[in-house]
Amino acid sequence: MFNKSNLFYILLLFSFTALAATPGEPKNVDSDLIFEDTQLEEELTYPDWFKLSLGDLNDDLKEAKKAGKKGIITYFGQKRCAYCAQFFKTSLSDTDIVNYLQKHYDVVAFDIWGIDDVIDTDGKQYTERELSLHYKVNFTPSLVFYDSEGTPVFRLRGFYPPYKFRAALQYVTEMFYKQETFAEYFERANLGEFFLLGGLNERDFFMEKPFNLTQTLDNKKPLAVFFEQGNCHTCDLLHSEPLSKDQTIYELEQMNVVQLNMWTDTPLTTPAGKKTTAKEWAKSLNLLYAPSIIFFDPTGKEIIRVDSVTHFNRLWGVLDYVNREGYKKTDDYQSWRLQQREIAK
């Protein structure tokens, strides 16, 4: 059953090997991961069991607790978001996931461009837009999990495949966040050896060892660090489509670009000057997904990270945001993209 921890790790292992295209796997995993990421022509509608906020998340939480639930989840989306549509189509069309989700949480929906006022659990008032900025919702869909006391305890930014969303639900519901990060929780499935096997996809724009990332700051270019792993179907998908486009390659060639296997002991020096290994650095960054890409400005400060399913339009948008220093000119990535769409009209 969903709530059996020992079976969960078996299912987790199965999920990872499925992503590595194990022969005989009955489910077409690619159907969860591959979709067109342009803006939708028609506006999305929420699942009918989503809640509309009462205007105060404390009241929303009280209502959820009265119904015997552990907390609430705030959903941040956009009306024409392809990634939101894929989330609805995959995870929120899985009966087991939906039943588990509804048993333990009320889901309160917000539009990241909304102007309605809402009071967060700490008593501060925001518009929907301001609340999304407060929680740094660079990508939609994004979810913020609140416990029974109204404390935000976990966030998911972007679209994740159902197996990952299922794991996140159990991680929060069984309160593993009190003792370990989500990355550590996943690591207990003991899959590190599996991900050490198999090579990484090679690209001409990746720098060669040794990786002293403080030296990359000397040429005043931004730094992009790709955290990948062996036997990684999602990594293969990133390389086969978004990273094969001329527009993407051009943008990456304007940066310093490093590729790491996040399970190896490859020595490196971080942009902050700390000597460590790829595995330890990835762990300290609490990465939730492979592949993940973290972008740093020429001073070594993190700009943005892409640590969820990403296709061409989203990736190119982030590269454009970094190279054109959109992070200096707008409130967040979403504001930059909106501005660029308006200019292009």
Instruction: Return the pLDDT at 7.
Output: 35
286, burial (CB in 10 Å: exposed 0-12, middle 13-18, buried 19+)? exposed
Contacts of 175 (CB under 8 A, 6+ apart): 147
pLDDT digit string (tens) for 169-187? 999 999 999 999 998 887 7
Task: Report residue 302: phi and psi, to 5°.
Answer: -65, 130
pLDDT digit string (tens) for 83-105? 999 999 999 999 999 999 999 99
Q: What is the mean pLDDT of residues 40-50?
A: 97
Task: Report residue 81: phi and psi, to 5°.
Answer: -90, 115
Q: Which amino acid makes up residue 288?
A: L
Contacts of 218 (CB under 8 A, 6+ apart): none
The DSSP H or E segment spanning 154 is strand 152-157
- Strands 267-269 and 275-277 come out as antiparallel
pLDDT digit string (tens) for 62-71? 999 999 999 9
The single-letter DSSP state of residue 40 is P
Mean predicted lDDT score pLDDT of the chain: 90
Q: What is the mean pLDDT of residues 283-295?
A: 94
Following DSSP, what letter does each residue of 203-257 receive, concatenated?
-TTSPPSPEETTGGGGGT--EEEEEE-SS-HHHHHHHHTGGGSHHHHHHHTTSEE
Q: What is the mean pLDDT of residues 15-27?
A: 39
Locate tokens 């009241």: which residue? 59
Within 13 Å of residue 87, how many CA atoms lie on the same side as its CB? 29
Domains of the chain: 5-187 (3.40.30.10), 198-344 (3.40.30.10)
- Lowest mean pLDDT, pick from 14-18, 40-44, 180-184: 14-18
